Amino acid sequence: MTKVLYIKGNPKGTEQSYSLRLGQDFIAAYQAAHPDAVVSELDLYEDHIPLIDADVMTGWGKLAAQSELSHHEASKVQRLGELVDQFLAHDIIVIAAPMWNFGYPPMVKAYIDAVSVAGKTFTYTEKGPVGLVKDKKAVIIEARGGQYSGTPASAVVHSQTHLSAVLGFLGITEISTVLAEGLNLDPSKAEDIYAAASSRGKQIAASLGA
């Protein structure tokens, strides 16, 4: 039984977000092609995603020293542990988010920090860091207002490229991408761009092995 974790990285409602509409389309297509799959949803703007702040840093230090954590420290550290365990428990990771100011919304970065944990998802060796997340697949679904792929402006993109690099660092090498670009350049063409990206997403969903 394949377990899919669908991560929503946009504070907007699904109907107001191209990235979440594409994510919803992908999940529906995947479930149609793989009816035995189990899909879990994590909304980064509705569920609690702790930032790596002073409480967390102090809490980690206290854990290493085997000393007692404060209530706030313990709550945040425990939640971060739950998030990385959830990440590791799923076979396919699907992340849907827009590109904002050449990067991702802040809670997507917070989630990347939450699951990038030495000893859990990667480890240090004499030859350098090694990813521990093996035999998983990932799908990145991203909406962009401008056109960046295949243009000089691609150099400023730090969203999908960053996430792909992090997932690869953690050990996930099979990564599929669904991009919808130029959505704000000509509003009359936005739905056509969305439809084309949705079609590509559905094709990936149907072909992605269980």
Q: Note the pLDDT tens digit of each residue in 54-92.
A: 999 999 999 999 999 999 999 999 999 999 999 999 999
Which CATH number characterizes residue 171's domain? 3.40.50.360
Q: What is the pLDDT of residue 204?
A: 97
The overall pTM is greater than 0.85: yes
pLDDT, tens only, 134-156: 989 999 999 999 999 989 989 99
What letter does residue 209 receive in the DSSP assignment?
-
The H or E element containing residue 104 is: none
Cα-flanking dihedrals φ and ψ of residue 122, to 5°? -155, 165
With 0-12 CB in 10 A as exposed, 13-18 as middle and 19+ as buried, what is 171?
middle
pLDDT, tens only, 99-131: 999 999 999 999 999 999 999 999 999 999 999
Locate all alpha helices (DSSP H) within the chain, ordered by sequence: 18-33, 54-64, 71-89, 106-115, 160-170, 190-207
Structural domains of the chain, count? 1
Q: What is the pLDDT of residue 209?
A: 73
Q: Given CA atoms 52, 54, 57, 60 in this order, what sign does their dihedral have?
A: negative
| 3-state DSSP assignment of residue 208 | coil
Average pLDDT over the chain, rounded to whole? 96
- Copy the structure tokens of residue 138: 């990932």
CB 103 within 8 A of CB 174: no
Give the number of C-alpha atoms closer than 13 A to the C-alpha of residue 148, restricted to the C-beta side.
23
- Which structural domain range is residue 154 located in? 3-207
The one-letter amino acid at 71 = H
Q: Give residues with Cβ within 8 angstroms of 202, minimum separation 6.
A: 25, 26, 29
Mean pLDDT of the region 189-206: 97
- Copy the structure tokens of residue 26: 């992908």
Cα-flanking dihedrals φ and ψ of residue 76, to 5°? -70, -45
